Amino acid sequence: MLYNGKEPFVCEAVPPRVHKVPMDEYRKLMDEKPARRPITWFLMQPVARYTPSQLAAMKAHAESQLGRPYLLRGWWKGHKVRGIFCSELVGDIIERSGKIESGHIHESPGSLHDKLLLFYGELSTP
């Protein structure tokens, strides 16, 4: 989650493209999304706050990815492609802070989660 002024938003990679969604709208989408099984999601609060320059770098990268096609092909094939998938996007954004080294096309949701546990506190449900 990043901010436009005081308004939080989420950048997400989902078909067909990376897009930005206001946090309130994102929460509604997650609550209403039909699924074969329940969707579980959570927020992680960093133990140490990001600096303004880290946040600016993360936001700039997130905004630069808007409109990029969603594709899992890079993960499947093991090489960079034009598109991007969810954990690759989030890992690449957080990498701009200098807190992690993203696995890029090799970044699974599980590997990203494990990296984030190193500098984020407890999980909380929204």
Question: Rounded CA gap, 25 and 100, in Å?
Answer: 28
More confident residue, 45 or 97: 97
Mean pLDDT value across residues 98-117: 88
Q: Where are the domains of the chain?
A: 2-124
The answer to whether 43 and 124 are in contact (CB under 8 A) is yes
In the 8-state DSSP scheme, what is residue 36?
S
Band (18; pLDDT cuts 50, 70, 90): very high
CATH class of 2-124: alpha beta
- Write down the pLDDT at residue 125: 56
Mean pLDDT value across residues 42-48: 82
